[in-house]
Every structure is written in structure tokens, then in C-alpha cells.
Chain A
Amino acid sequence: DGGITQSPKYLFRKEGQNVTLSCEQNLNHDAMYWYRQDPGQGLRLIYYSQIVNDFQKGDIAEGYSVSREKKESFPLTVTSAQKNPTAFYLCASSLDRDRNYGYTFGSGTRLTVV
């Protein structure tokens, strides 16, 4: 079955460390997205990518970086510059130009700073 796989499910980071969250999809979707979810704030867009080797900042990109070297993969790095990284991170994908299609979401990674 096609879908999106996020790993790890839980991640602990020490102060000052960079960590990378994995997101892989086998849906042959063009676009991929990273969202951050905090209690009571809904989902906020961090980065998105419409095609390989291209990505754009979302609403809260500071302290994060991404790459899109393959269509299937869109890893997110949470850098030490992100002052409050503890959150639930969701990866999604969609057919880029079809607004009727909707997003397919991964099961999320919960990041905690210790």
C-alpha cells in the first residue's frame, strides 16, 4: 500500500543539537510539506517543496532546514537555532496542482528537548 512513512516516532534532543526527521512517500506525489503542531495552535507550515531540488519557506521556517534530493524523500533538520523545538511534526504530500486532491499525512514525529 502507498503511503507516507515518518521516522522516528519519538525523538529526544539535547540543547544545542541538530536532529533530522525522516519523511518518505511512495505515492509518486509531486509536493511535500512539513508542519509543526502545538497544542491549541493547529498546524503551521514550516517548509514545502513542489519539485525535486526546490523548496520554499512556509510561515515558521526559522531554525529549520530541508532538502529534496529525491521525489520520495523530504527530510527536515531541526537546528540549534530553533529555540523552542518541542512539538509534534507532521509530514504530508499531495498532487501539486490538483486542489481537489487533498493531502496525505504521515503518522508524525514527537520531538522533545531534554
Chain B
Amino acid sequence: AQSVTQLDSHVSVSEGTPVLLRCNYSSSYSPSLFWYVQHPNKGLQLLLKYTSAATLVKGINGFEAEFKKSETSFHLTKPSAHMSDAAEYFCVVSANPNNFNKFYFGSGTKLNVKP
């Protein structure tokens, strides 16, 4: 079975300080992992993805994530938060049972950035 747990529903940081959004997953298959960002009343935009190549993945807007198989984690980080990073972030695991690409979403983490 596949599932995703985002450990924090809300995270608040000050502008210029580091961001850490935590994600743990479980998967019966070799997973692909994604982080998406959603601004209010918008669709989801891909930040980055892990697809069994390098375990440290760099994405857009300075975000990166590290795949740790032993910890079943895929935490999202950014060295310095910007006001425009305030949004909701979703961790997603993709499995391919029966040759069909299905996504499993975490419940989301809302990031608040204080001036």
C-alpha cells in the first residue's frame, strides 16, 4: 500500500530563515516522489521530483529535497525563505501498480512567512 504523511499542517518562519517541510512515505513499489506547491485558488505546480537517480534533488525557486530510503522520508528544504514562498505544499508518492500511474497525496503543509 502507498501513503504519504506530512508531519506538520502549518509551518511559520521569518523571511530569510530556513524552511523545512517534512514528509514520510510508505510504498510497496519503488516510488517516485514529488513536491507540489499551491498558491490560493490556483492549481498545483511541480517544485521537484525524485525518480531513483540522485537522492538530493534540486527544484525551482531554490527548494531542494533529499530522498532517504532508510528513513522513508523526502523532506523539502530551502536555505532562506521569501515572502513569495507562502503557500500550501503537497508531498506526493507515485506508484505504478497494474501499469497505471497513480498519485497519493499528503494532506498538505501551509507555509506562512513572516516579514
Contact = CB atoms under 8 A, between A and B. Distances in A.
Question: Do A and B form a real pair?
Answer: yes
A100 B46 CA distance: 12
Nearest to A9: B41
A42 interface: yes
A27 to B, nearest CB: 13
B101 A96 contact: yes
Nearest to A42: B107
Given A31-B101, A90-B43, A99 B107 contact: no
Contacts, number: 60
Interface residues of A, number: 28
Contacts of A90: 43-44
Contacts of A2: none
A105 interface: yes
A110 B51 CA distance: 32
21 contacts: A4-B43, A6-B43, A31-B100, A40-B9, A41-B107, A42-B105, A43-B105, A90-B43, A92-B44, A94-B101, A96-B100, A96-B101, A97-B100, A98-B101, A100-B49, A100-B52, A101-B101, A102-B94, A103-B44, A107-B42, A110-B41
Interface of B: 9, 32, 34, 36, 41-46, 49, 51-52, 90, 94-96, 99-103, 105-108
